[in-house]
């Protein structure tokens, strides 16, 4: 739900018995903790979803039949997991979007906590110069030679916008 009056909320089927659900501090990742039954055996599990409701990963907890509690660390890159009489700490490694261009420029994108859109950084590693560009709904970055293609979703449909950029971030 975007707010309490949302007419079209996103529903997520976790296919598990839930104990706890928590958003990371930036609101980009949802952790769902509890248990699931596999081959007639109950297992403790944490499932991760993005803010659009897409399933990303499963984290199976060893020697446990139920995850009781979870808590995010302030940066959103660590998760504490309470299971049975144990506390586990998990490091969350986001799947960063990036590419390397032949002239020594690294292009990478990340989502800032204070903005909805993604920040693209064109970093010239030789001169240490950084150029910033903002894109909504970044889905992929691919590079070839001195150019990169920036793929971003348009609205809520399946339309994808492709911007061809040079190493300075200028759209061609």
Residue the block writes with tokens 């492709």: 162
At 147, the pLDDT band (50, 70, 90 cuts) reads very high
- How does 33-59 read in b/e, with b if 16+ C-beta sit within 10 Å? bbbbeeeeeebbbbbbbeeeeeeeeeb
Predicted confidence at residue 38, as pLDDT, reads 80
**Please, are residues 46 and 82 in contact by the beta-carbon 8 Å criterion?**
no
Task: Report the alpha-carbon distance of residue 74 to residue 43 in Å, rounded.
Answer: 28
Percent of the chain with pLDDT over 90: 58
Task: Report the alpha-carbon distance of residue 94 to residue 8 in Å, rounded.
Answer: 28
| pLDDT tens digits, 34-43 | 999 888 888 9
Termini Cα distance of the chain: 37
**Please, are residues 79 and 30 in contact by the beta-carbon 8 Å criterion?**
no
Predicted confidence at residue 113, as pLDDT, reads 65
**Please, are residues 121 and 111 in contact by the beta-carbon 8 Å criterion?**
no
Predicted confidence at residue 154, as pLDDT, reads 82
Predicted confidence at residue 121, as pLDDT, reads 95
| pLDDT tens digits, 79-138 | 999 998 899 999 988 778 999 999 999 999 987 766 778 889 999 999 999 999 999 888
**Nearest CA among 41, 25, 109 for reference residue 75:** 25
Predicted confidence at residue 72, as pLDDT, reads 96
pTM of the complete model beyond 0.95: no
């Amino acid at each position: 739900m975007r707010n309490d009056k949302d007419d079209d909320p996103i529903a997520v089927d976790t296919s598990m018995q839930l104990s706890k659900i928590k958003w990371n501090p930036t609101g980009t990742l949802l952790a769902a903790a509890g248990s699931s039954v596999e081959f007639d055996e109950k297992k403790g599990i944490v499932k991760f979803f993005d803010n659009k409701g897409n399933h990303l990963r499963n984290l199976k907890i060893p020697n446990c039949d139920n995850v009781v509690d979870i808590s995010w660390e302030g940066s959103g890159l660590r998760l504490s997991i309470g299971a049975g009489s144990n506390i586990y700490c998990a490091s969350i490694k986001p799947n960063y979007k990036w590419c390397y261009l032949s002239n020594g420029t690294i292009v990478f994108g990340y989502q800032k906590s204070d903005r909805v859109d993604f920040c693209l950084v064109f970093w010239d590693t030789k001169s240490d110069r950084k150029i910033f560009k903002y894109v909504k709904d970044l889905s992929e970055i691919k590079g070839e030679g001195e150019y990169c293609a920036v793929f971003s979703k348009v609205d809520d449909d399946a339309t994808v916008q492709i911007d061809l950029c040079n190493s300075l971030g200028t759209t061609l």
